Amino acid sequence: MKRRDFLVGAALLAGSMARGRAADIPAPSPDGLERITAYFNDEVGSGRLPGAVILVQQHGKPVYLKTFGVRDTRTGLAMTPDTIFAIHSMTKPITCLGAMMLIDEGKLALTDPVSKYVPLFAGTKVGLEVTLPDGKLELDLVPPVRPVNIEDLLRHTSGISYDYIGGKWVEQAYKAANIFEGPFNNKEFADRIAKLPLARQPGTLWRYGHSTDVLGAVIEIISGQTLYEFLKARIFDPLGMTSTKFALATEDELARMARPLPNDFILLAAERERLDHPEWQSGGGGLLSTITDYQRFSQMLLNGGEFEGRRYLSPAAFKAMTTDHIGPGSGVGRDYFYFPGDGFGYGYGLAVRTDPGNAKPPPPGSLGELKWDSGSGTYFGVDPKLDMVYLMMQQTQNERSRITPAFKALVYDSYPEGLRRP
C-alpha cells in the first residue's frame, strides 16, 4: 500500500472510531441543562451575582451556551458570549502550556535549575519558623536541599508561596518585601521572588504561589519575547483566541469587560492592583479572556494537544502535562492549602482526577478529567470520558466557593446516573 493511501485509510479509520465512541456517549438531558438555567437565573435574580456565561460542549460542539444578567451593574449592559473576564489563575494552564512547548523543543528541561535563567535563585534560602525557649517565634534561614527547578515551577513544589498562604512568617516576609511596589516586569518580579525565603524545601510540598509568574519570566528569557508576544504567536493566534490578552486597548474591549458587584471588595482590590501594573504580564494570573476563546484552549486539551489540524504538544509532552506528578511515591506532601481538592492530583499546570476521593458519595466527575479555576470565579473542566468541556465565566470572589461546586454538580447531574461519578 502506498504511504498516502495508508495515511488516508488510517485517518478514515480513526474518524470512524471517534464517531463510534461519540455515538456511545449520551448527551446531557434537556431537563438537566434546564436546571443549570434555573440555577443561574436565581443567582442573578437574587442579586448575588451580576451575571455569568455558561458553556457545555460535547464532541466539539456546544450543547449549551447561555448568558445571564449583566456585565456591569453600573452600565446595565447585558452579558454576551464575547464578554471579557479577568480569569486570574486560569492563566496558569496557558503559561504552563507555553513552557511545555519549549520543553518539547529541547529549549528547556524539567531538571534545569531556575537559577540558570534567574541567577538570583542561586542564593535563595528556605525559611524555618523556630520557637525560642521564651516562646517567641523566630525565622531561621537554611540552604535548600537542592535547587528549585523548572518542574517545581510547573507543579507548585518550588516552595514559592502567595503572601496569604502558609504561616504568619510567610505573610510578614512577603509584605515586608513590597514585591508589588512601583513598576516591574516579569524578570524584575522573578528577582524579587528569588530574594524571599522559600516556604518549604523544594519538591516536598504542593504549595500555591508565584511559581507560574517566575515561569513566565523564564519563557521570556528563553524566547527573547515578552510573555504576551510568545503566547500570542504560539497559542492565541493559532487557536483563534482573539480576545485573550493582558491589557485591553480599545473602547470596545473596555465596554465588553465584566465587573464584580460593588460589595465584592477583595476582587475589586485585585482588579485595581492589576490596573496599577499594566506593564506586568503575570503568567500566574494576569490574562483576560472570553468563554469562546477559552473553549478553544479547552478543546485543544480534550483533543490531546491538537486543534483543527494543528498540534501544540507532542503526545509525550501532552501526557506529561496531564499526568499526576505529586501522587504516592513522589515525595510531595499536601496540606490544608491543597487546592486541587479531593480525588485530584496535579500535573504541569492542571489538576487531574486520579481517584474517587474520600467523600461519600464521591464528588461528581470522571477519572482523568482535567480542571482549574480562579479567584475571580471562572472555572473550566475537560472530561475525556464524556468527550466534554464545560466552562463558567463570572466575576465573583464572594460567591465562588459556593457556586463552583454547584455548577459542576449541575453539569454532571444532566447525565445518566452511571456517568456522574468516577
Please state whether 398 falls in left (phi above 0), alpha (psi between -120 and 50) or beta: alpha
pLDDT-derived band of residue 21, with 50, 70 and 90 as boundaries? low
- Contact partners, residue 186, CB within 8 Å, separation at least 6: 213, 216, 217, 220, 226, 227, 280, 281, 282, 283
Q: Is the pLDDT of residue 23 over 80?
A: no
pLDDT tens for each residue of 266-285? 999 999 999 999 999 999 99
What is the spatial order of strands in the sheet that 344-346 belongs to? Answer: 61-69, 51-58, 388-394, 379-383, 370-373, 351-353, 344-346
Rounded percentage of the chain residues whose pLDDT exceeds 90: 89
The candidate with the shortest Cα–Cα distance to 104, out of 307, 382, 297, 320, is 320
Distance between CA atoms of residues 11 and 6, nearest Å: 9
Task: Determine the pLDDT at residue 56.
Answer: 98
Helical segments of 47-165, H only: 92-104, 150-155
pLDDT-derived band of residue 167, with 50, 70 and 90 as boundaries? confident
Q: Where are the domains of the chain?
A: 27-96+225-419, 110-222
The CB-side HSE value for 12 (13 A sphere, CA atoms) comes to 6
Task: Determine the pLDDT at residue 5.
Answer: 42
Amino acid letter, 401: S
Tell me the average pLDDT across 302-317.
Answer: 98
Cα dist. 167→97, 130, 157 in Å? 31, 12, 16
Distance between CA atoms of residues 293 and 302, nearest Å: 15
Mean pLDDT value across the chain: 94
Task: Determine the pLDDT at residue 137.
Answer: 78
Task: Determine the pLDDT at residue 138.
Answer: 84
pLDDT tens for each residue of 382-402? 999 999 999 999 999 999 999
pLDDT-derived band of residue 415, with 50, 70 and 90 as boundaries? very high
Task: Determine the pLDDT at residue 22.
Answer: 66
Task: Determine the pLDDT at residue 6.
Answer: 37
Does residue 216 contact residue 283 with C-beta atoms inside 8 Å? yes
Q: Is the pLDDT of residue 54 over 90?
A: yes
Which fold is adopted by the domain 27-96+225-419? Answer: Beta-lactamase (3.40.710)
Tell me the average pLDDT across 209-219.
Answer: 98
pLDDT tens for each residue of 93-142? 999 999 999 999 999 999 999 999 999 999 999 999 888 888 787 889 99
Task: Determine the pLDDT at residue 252.
Answer: 95
Cα dist. 341→56, 181, 353, 375 in Å? 22, 33, 9, 15
pLDDT-derived band of residue 14, with 50, 70 and 90 as boundaries? very low
Q: Is the pLDDT of residue 8 over 60?
A: no
Q: Which triple of cell numbers denotes residue 272?
A: 485595581
